[in-house]
Structure 1
Amino acid sequence: MSLLILGGTQDAKRLAQTLQDKQVPVIYSIAGKVRQPEITCPVVSGGFTQFGGLAKFITAKNIRAVLDVTHPFAEKMTATAATVTRQLLIPYWQYQRKPWQQTAADRWFFFDHVEQLITQLDGKKTPFVTVGQLSEQQLIRLTKQHDQVVYRTAIAADFQLPKNVHWIQAVGPFDEKNEQQIFTQYSVDALVTKQSGGRATEAKITVARERQLDVFLQRRPKLASADQCFSDDKECINAVLRLFDQKNKETL
């Protein structure tokens, strides 16, 4: 029996490799749109539709439990995983990285949807937008009130970008030197991002703080509930080891 890790994050790769090294049979899943992880366990890319859905995959691969280590904003995958595991009566666990903590020097403003953001950004000339893929209409509405928008995503949009959008294709992690260069080169006067947490993309938050710029953070969505939820590597790893040790003893 195996542990299915729903991945696509630095946290997921780290946990998958650690558990694999500790002799836990791991299958790692990734959407496959950006890049393949360099880990030694079996990797499933491109989603579960190719297998007839998540439920059929879990049954066919004799999955013992699902550990969801997707992005904090991966609502659809999380909801699917929670529903399927509940139906199949297997454990569904989540690993959620801790959100960034605001300091006295931070100038943070929060929004839930892009429509709210458009009003909040009024008066900004060159926002640096790093909230993932936006629809064509969202981007058009967002760019109308700015001289220039710096827009960074991992994959290209499937429509023509407005003329005042400078698109940067990149995948984290990002360091402060890289982020400083972007803020300087484009005279960025505001940062728009998700409350993702973690270290891989935290540098832009640090740079905005140092420059005393406004940061507009999209709040995390409320995700489907899990049987257990972790934010600490050691606690998560130990829980998995106990689960599989118990299962191994049951099969002796």
Structure 2
Amino acid sequence: MTDRPHVLLLGGTSDARRLAAELDAAGSGLRVTSSLAGRVADPRLPAGEVRIGGFGGVPGLVDWLREHRVAAIVDATHPFAAVMSRNAALAAAETGTPLLALRRPAWTPGPGDRWHEVGSPAEAAALLTELGRRVFVTTGRGELAAFTASPELWYLIRSVDPPEPADLPPHHELLLARGPFDLAAERETLRRHRIDVLLTKNSGGPATAPKLLAAREAGIPVVLRRRPATPPGVPEVPDVPDALRWLDRLPSR
């Protein structure tokens, strides 16, 4: 078991879980350890070995790669997990470990979409006041503090876990729920809460796309956080089959 090439899978996404299941299957020839950040209280656990929590920055990750004799890293974190992706790139370079980024393609606007791309929470907060008064927020709980500066707006905040109370804007309602959400459910959410603007991140993938379709149907503008770039020099693939093909070509195999 331990002589199989060891792959560190930086996970937390549905693509990461699918890849872990493939690698954990009998006959894959690889050992996989999935690493989850631990920001969600009750995460969906992937197949195979799992570790939860940070590494302690780049030095800690370098030590972990060496101690566990990691043959390759697949960064399948959320497209907005920029700090972890940067740390992985730096640690991979220092240790000479092959690194791949698994990134589902970003969404692109279609006919009828009213999208406004922004680069930061502060930019999003400034734009929201021009577009509506009842905002549906699906960016997660980590960037809510920026919206306390717009107390005239009302926010429906959807999150897996409760945000910190100090980060919440004055007028809001919490919707604690875990996706995926289908189109009918997203239509009903917009209707029931009289939403007139949607705030989300360009995460890509089909699982969370129905909210964009519902907004298009309702003629609701969307403020879309632009995703950060993959670290320079890191190869990138869009799906699990391509990641498996990359792993098949590892020199250690």
Could you tell me which amino acid in structure 2 is paired with residue 65 of structure 1?
A
- 1:203-238 Cα deviation digits (max 9, x unpaired): 101110111110110111123124421013222211
Offset at residue 32 of structure 1 (A): 2.0
Tell me the TM-score normalised to structure 1 length: 0.89
For residues 21 and 112 of structure 2, the distance between their equivalents in structure 1, rounded to whole angstroms, comes to 37
Per the alignment, do residues 135 and 159 of structure 1 end up closer, same or farther by CA in structure 2, a change over 3 Å counting?
farther
Could you tell me which amino acid in structure 2 is paired with residue 247 of structure 1?
S
Could you tell me which amino acid in structure 1 is paired with residue 137 of structure 2?
V
SS at match of 1:121: helix
In the other structure, the counterpart of 2:146 is 138
Number of residues of Structure 1 aligned to a counterpart in Structure 2: 243
Gaps in structure 1 of 5+ consecutive residues:
none
Could you tell me which amino acid in structure 2 is paired with residue 69 of structure 1?
A
Q: Does 1:118 align with 2:122?
A: no
Q: Are 1:91 and 1:227, in contact at CA under 8 Å, matched by a contact in 2?
A: no
Moved more, 30-39 or 104-113: 30-39
Could you tell me which amino acid in structure 1 is paired with residue 15 of structure 2?
D
Tell me the TM-score normalised to structure 2 length: 0.89
Matches within 5 A, 1:44-193: 44-49=51-56, 53-123=60-130, 124-134=132-142, 137-142=145-150, 144-146=151-153, 148-160=154-166, 161-193=168-200
In the other structure, the counterpart of 1:25 is 31
What's the Cα RMSD here?
A: 1.9
For residues 220 and 207 of structure 1, the distance between their equivalents in structure 2, rounded to whole angstroms, comes to 21
In the other structure, the counterpart of 1:247 is 252
Q: Are 2:37 and 2:53, in contact at CA under 8 Å, matched by a contact in 1?
A: yes
For residues 202 and 106 of structure 2, the distance between their equivalents in structure 1, rounded to whole angstroms, comes to 6
Runs of 4+ displaced beyond 6 Å: none
- 1:73-96 Cα deviation digits (max 9, x unpaired): 111000100001100011111011
Q: Does 1:196 align with 2:203?
A: yes
For residues 185 and 89 of structure 2, the distance between their equivalents in structure 1, rounded to whole angstroms, comes to 37
Offset at residue 59 of structure 1 (A): 1.0
Could you tell me which amino acid in structure 1 is paired with residue 6 of structure 2?
S
- 1:18-49 Cα deviation digits (max 9, x unpaired): 12222321110101232333433100111223
Gaps in structure 2 of 5+ consecutive residues:
none
Percent identity for Structure 1 against Structure 2: 30
